[in-house]
Structure 1
Amino acid sequence: MTINTERPQAASAPARTTRSSGRGAPGPTAGGTRAPRRTDGWWPWLFVLPLLVGVGTFYIWPIIQTFWYSFTSWGVFGGATFSGVANYVRLAGDPQLYQSLLNTIVYTVIVLAGIPIAVWLASLLNTPGLRFAQFYRVLFFLPYVAMPAAIALVWRIMFNGDYGIVNWFIGLFGIDGPYWISTPGFALVAVSFVGLWSSLGFSMIILGAGLKDIPPELYEAAELDGASRWRQFRSVTVPLLSPSIFFVVIVTTISSFQLFDLLYAILGSTNPVIPKTMSLVFYFYSAGFIDNDKGFAAAIAMVIFLLIGIVTLVQFRVQRKWVQA
């Protein structure tokens, strides 16, 4: 056995890299020149221009114009004069603003309460092997596409205190029904119920599309683990359907804050319950088109715009805690 007595060679030191100055450093292409940056020119803007013109004309410019009008006062025959923040000071001290805001919030909460009902109905319509499922979907969706004036006319007859079918039905249980659309408190409940009923179809269509994206294997695995139908609905359906639920909540909230046509068509403009039942948009309509106070109405419109923006921003913040991407 021989022992190698040669001294091992030392490991060569790593080659030192020298940082070259940017002046002589070679670029990504041969010859040390940098490749020219590609530009698409003005062609993409040409195709987007019609959309930008439409958005600017019908959305952005009216907002800017309304914001300016909110700082002006108008005479009977027109002509705007700058009045500063007088309209906003007057608005802050008007009790009708807070009454309208409360009515709008109550209406929004009642309509949003229909979303769990829509989730339940969409789940039933998504049951495998259900006959006439498409017919039921169309039946629920019809009120959403119908004209609000036609819906309001039908429900106005149904809510009639003397011969309406609503009072006739609750009378079968020994309950004396009120005059729904002419009694403070009951009028807002009646309008809110119609809003809930007419929005169910849209919510069911969106939620039904979300249900179809849930893999059926998850339900099979949950069933093998012994989960009941209610457990599957709570632990599988609702979490995976949360993006669709969030979308429906956003759209329903914005639509509810814009309540006007349904309220106006059911109650009318001379109903004595209007001061206790009007929404924010009805308050804007009353100031701008009945009282002809355009500057004050513009201030109301800006408050509505700001409230919708704040509520939507809060919903987008909160959705991070319950919406599963």
Structure 2
Amino acid sequence: MSLADSVSVTVKHKSHAADVKPPTKTTARPALTRLERAERFWGWIMVLPLLIGLAVFYFIPFVQNIFYSFTDLDQFMNWSTFDINNYLDLFSDDDFYSAVFNTLFYVVVCVPIGLAISLLLAIGLNQNIRGKALFRTLLFLPAVTMPAAVAMVWQWLFNKDFGLINYLLHFFGVSAVGWLSDPDIVRISVSIIIIWSSLALKIIILLAGLQSIPRSIYEAADIDGISTLRRFFCLTLPMMVPTLFFVSVMSFIEVLQIFDVVFLTFDRSMVESDTMTVTYLFYKNAFYLQQKGYASAITVVLFIFTMLITLVQMAIGKRLKVA
């Protein structure tokens, strides 16, 4: 090989080596200043009480409840076996299926009707009407009323002999209805109470969503001559989808966990025969029958069912947002 050829090979080798770039080093994260470290430290200090509260009162009991659902825990918090008998007994219990049926009935009836009524009332309160502040206050009263007081009022309203509702029905020639005793009516009575007592918070959230819609959109619709009904379905409803989705998820969870309405309004015999919910079944086994392990299994199943319903709703909500 001649000198010129060796020089050219050497130059090519060097040029090829120059083309190959060494891997770039990741830039080091700048060190926190003294002020930033102090802010982070005091931030964790401020959040620490809340984290401790969540761990002590929510996370640890949640894990304990799952563990106890596999045991024969008794009223003295003693257990001797660890198996799945609680779940096997649960899915062969007629009371459980009756409670599930009643709970799903309340969900199917109360959630859509309550959402529709809340939306209509929120739209009405969003208009420039006289006495708007008074109506808002009256509609918010159920949210700050004790469940025991609510139950007493509805027991009087639903009374078969001297209740106000039957007194009004008498003027239309309708015979007295056993709102609290007729097995075919009691579920409707529970649904009415649930819908009424849950309106307040829904109205506030929906009213906030309505007020977040720019007024310029409605002004443009008025200029174009769009009717009120078409404006509702083409403008208001599509822009309220995120708020309606949040309220529907909240309503599903609330109705699935309903307890106080059934427990306080009806006597025990009526609850256990016609209006029993899953949460009342848990209460019955945990505090009446003292079968705490079995009661823990009920709450685990209720949690899984609630989580699945919520995940389905979230998937539907994402598809609606994409559309």
> Are 2:80 and 1:81 equivalent residues in the alignment?
yes
Evaluate the alpha carbon distance shift between residue 223 and residue 81 of structure 1 in structure 2; reply closer, same or farther with a 3 A threshold: same
Give 1:178's aligned residue.
Answer: 177
Evaluate the alpha carbon distance shift between residue 104 and residue 323 of structure 1 in structure 2; reply closer, same or farther with a 3 A threshold: farther
In 2, the alpha carbon distance for the partners of 1:76 and 1:204 equals 42
Contact 2:75 2:292 in 1 (8 A): no
Give 2:292's aligned residue.
Answer: 294
Superposition map of 1:37-116 within 5 A: 37-38=30-31, 43=41, 44-75=43-74, 77-112=76-111, 113-116=113-116
Evaluate the alpha carbon distance shift between residue 193 and residue 47 of structure 1 in structure 2; reply closer, same or farther with a 3 A threshold: same
| Residue 212 of structure 1: how far off its partner (Å) | 0.7
Contact 1:239 1:324 in 2 (8 A): no
Give 2:138's aligned residue.
Answer: 139
Amino acid at match of 2:278: L
> Are 2:212 and 1:219 equivalent residues in the alignment?
no
SS, match of residue 175 in structure 2? coil
In 2, the alpha carbon distance for the partners of 1:295 and 1:217 equals 58
Give 1:123's aligned residue.
Answer: 123
| Residue 75 of structure 1: how far off its partner (Å) | 4.3
Give 1:12's aligned residue.
Answer: none
Which range moves more in the overlay, 70-79 or 277-286?
A: 70-79
Instruction: Give deviations 1:134-181, integer Å, cap 9, x for gaps.
Output: 111111010121111100101001101111111111222111132111
In 2, the alpha carbon distance for the partners of 1:119 and 1:18 equals 67
For structure 1, the 5+ residue unaligned runs are 1-14, 29-33
Evaluate the alpha carbon distance shift between residue 321 and residue 75 of structure 1 in structure 2; reply closer, same or farther with a 3 A threshold: closer
Contact 1:239 1:323 in 2 (8 A): no
Superposition map of 1:298-317 within 5 A: 298-317=296-315
Q: Which has the higher helix share?
A: 2
Amino acid at match of 2:91: A
Amino acid at match of 1:195: I
Superposition map of 1:9-24 within 5 A: 18-22=19-23
Amino acid at match of 1:178: V
SS, match of residue 219 in structure 1? helix
Instruction: Give deviations 1:112-151, integer Å, cap 9, x for gaps.
Output: 1111111111111111x32221111111010121111100
| Residue 95 of structure 1: how far off its partner (Å) | 1.4
In 1, the alpha carbon distance for the partners of 2:186 and 2:276 equals 10
In 1, the alpha carbon distance for the partners of 2:207 and 2:75 equals 52
Q: Give aligned-pair identity as a percent.
A: 36
Which range moves more in the overlay, 221-230 or 146-155?
A: 221-230
In 1, the alpha carbon distance for the partners of 2:154 and 2:29 equals 68
Contact 2:69 2:293 in 1 (8 A): yes
Contact 1:182 1:273 in 2 (8 A): no
Give 1:11's aligned residue.
Answer: none
In 1, the alpha carbon distance for the partners of 2:141 and 2:303 equals 30
Give 2:274's aligned residue.
Answer: 276
Instruction: Give deviations 1:88-119, integer Å, cap 9, x for gaps.
Output: 00001011111111111111222211111111
Contact 2:155 2:265 in 1 (8 A): yes
Instruction: Give deviations 1:271-312, integer Å, cap 9, x for gaps.
Output: 335322100000000111111111100100111111111111
SS, match of residue 240 in structure 2? helix
Contact 2:262 2:271 in 1 (8 A): no
| Residue 20 of structure 1: how far off its partner (Å) | 2.2
Evaluate the alpha carbon distance shift between residue 76 and residue 234 of structure 1 in structure 2; reply closer, same or farther with a 3 A threshold: closer
Evaluate the alpha carbon distance shift between residue 265 and residue 213 of structure 1 in structure 2; reply closer, same or farther with a 3 A threshold: same
Give 1:5's aligned residue.
Answer: none
Amino acid at match of 2:107: T
Give 2:6's aligned residue.
Answer: none
SS, match of residue 80 in structure 2? strand
In 2, the alpha carbon distance for the partners of 1:258 and 1:36 equals 48
Amino acid at match of 1:300: I
SS, match of residue 183 in structure 2? coil
In 1, the alpha carbon distance for the partners of 2:251 and 2:74 equals 37
| Residue 320 of structure 1: how far off its partner (Å) | 2.0
For structure 2, the 5+ residue unaligned runs are 1-14
Which range moves more in the overlay, 163-172 or 297-306?
A: 163-172
In 2, the alpha carbon distance for the partners of 1:159 and 1:205 equals 28
In 1, the alpha carbon distance for the partners of 2:97 and 2:321 equals 32
In 1, the alpha carbon distance for the partners of 2:20 and 2:188 equals 76
Evaluate the alpha carbon distance shift between residue 147 and residue 293 of structure 1 in structure 2; reply closer, same or farther with a 3 A threshold: same
Give 1:150's aligned residue.
Answer: 149
Alignment RMSD: 2.2
In 2, the alpha carbon distance for the partners of 1:197 and 1:62 equals 32
